[in-house]
């Protein structure tokens, strides 16, 4: 799940989670008619209703194929220190996207946060209370877990610099405006790439480097489509929040991993936890090139796995 700019000048990095089209056996849903009620002040649009139905079919199709695993991997997904080091190189030192999700990205230096990450959540007006409770709890719990994994301070209080938006097609613009108002250095204009998402993008994140070092993140905004069914929403939370910490790319060879467009795994795996541990190892520094970091990456991977194999 990345383009540049504070935007261009500040080193904006964009990440998106691409959604494969459902298999041929899954029909594209028709848009539901716009059913209006006198007591319903903000009725769901036909576009949002159709998207919710479509995403529900996508999740069902993926589960029926054994995808969106939640087991973190097992005996069928072994990996060695050499494989971990290779996957780290491909995921950390390349961008998935350049521009507003327009083209594939290229090689980049190591990027991560130096200051504490302070996470908050903004919900669109159409998100019901039960979903707000579930998603808010998941986001706060996952933030704590990411902090424990990385050893970097990640919290859910204080002046926010990382906003996770859960909003529908109907209220995403308003939620993005609210995020820009809460995070210093981010403007409504700088969030333009997150305002118009294709149907095949069900979540996205923008990470900003607005300080003197273009390799050090200072803010991030993630967008999770509220129309996603529960597991896809949780999968989005796991991938986008982790990507915004510096795991900028996906690799088709990474397994077991959520940083792989095959959608085999829905939730952060043990392999991915090790990637995050490596990323925030003090021996690695923001701005390092892949070539500079290579010897250290090999050493750290061997230490984590327990041998050079």
pLDDT 10s digits, 19-44: 444 443 333 333 333 433 333 446 78
Residue 81 has pLDDT above 50, yes or no: yes
DSSP 220: E
Beta strands in 43-107 (DSSP E): 97-98, 103-104
Question: Is the sign of the CA dihedral 31, 126, 239, 163 positive or negative?
Answer: positive
Average pLDDT over residues 260-281: 97
User: H-type helices in 122-269, by residue range?
Assistant: 129-150, 172-182, 230-243
Average pLDDT over residues 83-90: 97
User: H-type helices in 19-80, by residue range?
Assistant: 46-64
Closest of 100, 77, 101 to residue 87, by C-alpha: 77
pLDDT, position 23: 40
> Which pLDDT band holds residue 185 (cuts at 50, 70, 90)?
confident
The larger pLDDT score, comparing residue 31 to residue 122, is at 122
Residue 180 has pLDDT above 70, yes or no: yes
Average pLDDT over residues 176-194: 94
Could you give phi then psi for residue 189, rounded to 5 degrees?
Answer: -65, -35
10 Å CB burial of residue 32 (0-12, 13-18, 19+) is: middle
Interatomic CA distance for residues 220 and 241, integer angstroms? 9
Question: Who contacts 206 (Cβ-Cβ below 8 Å, separation ≥6)?
Answer: 12, 13, 14, 15, 190, 191, 193, 194, 220, 221, 222
- CA 153 to mean position of chain CA atoms: 18
Average pLDDT over residues 205-234: 96
Closest of 108, 82, 111 to residue 298, by C-alpha: 82
Packing angle, helices 81-92 and 290-305, rounded to 10: 140
pLDDT, position 44: 85
Residue 122, beta-bridge partner list? 165
Cis peptide, bond prior to residue 56, ω within 30 of zero: no
Cα–Cα distances in Å, from 208 out to 20, 136, 168, 225, 308?
27, 23, 23, 21, 36
Mean pLDDT of the chain, nearest integer: 86
Interatomic CA distance for residues 127 and 225, integer angstroms? 10
Residue 250 has pLDDT above 90, yes or no: yes
Average pLDDT over residues 126-146: 97
pLDDT, position 79: 96
Average pLDDT over residues 170-196: 94
Interatomic CA distance for residues 221 and 219, integer angstroms? 7
pLDDT, position 95: 78
118-127 as b/e: b if 16+ CB within 10 A: bbbbbbbebb
> Backbone dihedral region of 15: left (phi > 0), alpha (psi from -120 to 50 degrees) or beta?
beta
């Amino acid at each position: 799940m990345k383009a540049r700019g504070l935007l261009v000048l500040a080193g904006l990095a964009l990440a998106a989670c691409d959604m494969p089209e459902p298999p041929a056996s899954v029909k594209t849903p028709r848009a539901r008619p716009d059913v209006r009620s006198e007591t319903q002040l903000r009725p769901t649009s036909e576009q949002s209703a159709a998207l919710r139905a479509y995403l529900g079919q996508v999740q069902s199709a993926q589960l029926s194929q054994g995808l969106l695993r939640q087991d973190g991997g097992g005996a069928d997904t072994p990996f060695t220190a050499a494989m971990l080091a290779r996957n780290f190189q491909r995921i950390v030192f390349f961008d998935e996207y350049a521009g507003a999700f327009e083209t594939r990205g290229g090689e980049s230096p190591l990027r991560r946060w130096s200051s504490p990450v302070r996470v908050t959540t903004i919900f669109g007006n159409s998100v019901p209370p039960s979903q707000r409770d579930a998603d808010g709890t998941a986001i706060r719990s996952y933030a704590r877990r990411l902090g424990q994994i990385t050893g970097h301070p990640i919290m859910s209080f204080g002046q926010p610099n990382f906003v996770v938006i859960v909003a529908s097609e109907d209220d995403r613009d308003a939620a993005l405006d609210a995020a820009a108002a809460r995070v210093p250095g981010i403007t409504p204009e700088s969030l333009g790439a997150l305002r118009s998402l294709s149907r095949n993008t069900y979540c996205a994140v923008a990470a900003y480097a607005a300080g003197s070092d273009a390799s050090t993140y200072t803010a991030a905004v993630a967008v999770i489509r509220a129309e996603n069914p529960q597991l896809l929403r949780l999968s989005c939370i796991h991938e986008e929040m982790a990507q915004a910490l510096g795991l900028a790319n996906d690799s088709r060879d990474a397994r077991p991993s959520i940083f792989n467009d095959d959608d085999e795994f829905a939730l952060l795996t043990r392999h991915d936890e090790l990637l995050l541990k490596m990323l925030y190892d003090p021996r690695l520094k923001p701005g390092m090139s892949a070539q500079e970091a290579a010897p250290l990456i090999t050493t750290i991977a061997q230490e984590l796995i327990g041998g050079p194999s």
